[in-house]
Amino acid sequence: MREIKAELITEAIARLCVEANRVLPESLESCIRNAGETSPVSRTVMEDLCSNLDAARELGLPICQDTGMAVVFAEIGQDVHINGNLTEAVNEGVRRGYVDGLLRCSVVADPIRRGNTEDNTPAILHVGLVPGDKIKLTVAPKGFGSENMSRLKMFTPAASREDIIGFVADTVNKAGGNPCPPVVLGVGIGGDFELCAKLAKEALCRDVSIRNKDPYYAELERDMLNAVNATGVGPQGFGGDVTALAVNIETFPTHIAGLPVAVNVGCHVTRHKSVTI
């Protein structure tokens, strides 16, 4: 049994919060820089997005002013004992990352009565047990301009492949320029109501250069991407060829009577960073 001090988790989370907000994953940045937009206006928009990435890196500033709600995935090895409270360690890391890192704090204490918590806590924490004696931590700061455009639909098993592709494309078309396209889409298929939404969030944390390991779903990712780009929403809603940079699908077995589908919309700065301790 390997023992890991909770303070190590806190330090890692604090660092990930800052780093994820300042530098995009390399593959996503490459998608933005090589998008191949043909519309003159939207090509200028893409150039501005690239300049923004450069400025954030050079000045040590967040890529976007909405530094998001901290979503944390903790994959904990079954042979690990955490010396301390995991939830408290994660929230302390978020507090340090956002306050000491001078990131915008956007979390309110109550969904209706509001009231800013002033340190961006609590984080949304997903914990999973995996084999081994290590802990993998992923921080995915999620801005709500894109989060607000996400949708979930409980299809019946009679839904066709085309119905699902249409739902994904319609979600992006209805969103227009609100989620700061070109977007990244995480699509969860299967499970039940809450699991398909979690799958969609997990899909956003997959490197955009990696396709689904199942060839059927890899092809579906491609066809969804083509359908979304055919909407013509374009960069920042100005029209054009590049409405989405990538579509990632994650799946899970489901009930014979259902076919849940969730679309978690990520903006062009779909941020996430991981570390293993």
Two structure tokens written together for 260: 């849940």
| N-to-C CA span, the chain | 14
d(CA 39, CA 36): 9
In DSSP terms, 154 is beta-bridged to: 260
At 51 the pLDDT is 96
CA-wise closest residue to 248 among 68, 63, 25: 25
Answer whether CATH 3.40.50 is correct for domain 144-270. Answer: no
Amino acid letter, 264: N
DSSP structure string for 21-35: HHS--HHHHHHHHT-
- With a cut of 50, list the residues of the chain below it in pLDDT: none
Question: CA 240 to CA 230: how far, in whole Å?
Answer: 9
The span from the CA of 276 to the CA of 137, in Å, is 6
- H-run or E-run covering 82: strand 80-83
**Nearest-CA neighbor of 237 among 180, 198, 171?**
180
Q: How far apart are CA 199 and CA 63, in angstroms?
A: 25
Question: Residue ranges of the domains in the chain?
Answer: 2-22+63-142, 144-270
| DSSP one-letter code for 270 | -
pLDDT at 224: 98
Helix (H) or strand (E) holding 151: strand 151-155
- The answer to whether 18 and 102 are in contact (CB under 8 A) is no
173, 168, 111, 119: which is closest to 144 by C-alpha? 111
Q: Which two tokens stand for residue 68?
A: 């998001």
| Tens-digit pLDDT profile for residues 156-204 | 999 999 999 999 999 999 999 999 999 999 999 999 999 999 999 999 9
What are the phi and psi torsion angles at 161 (to 5°)? -55, -40
Give the pLDDT score at 173. Answer: 98
Residue appearing with tokens 């990352």: 97
Question: pLDDT value at position 260?
Answer: 98
Sign of CA dihedral 118, 265, 268, 213: positive
Question: pLDDT value at position 200?
Answer: 98
Secondary structure string (H, E, C) spanning 184-229: EEEEEEEECHHHHHHHHHHHHCCCCCCCCCCHHHHHHHHHHHHHHH
What is the value of pTM for the model shown?
Answer: 0.96
- Ramachandran angles phi, psi of 88, nearest 5°: -65, -40
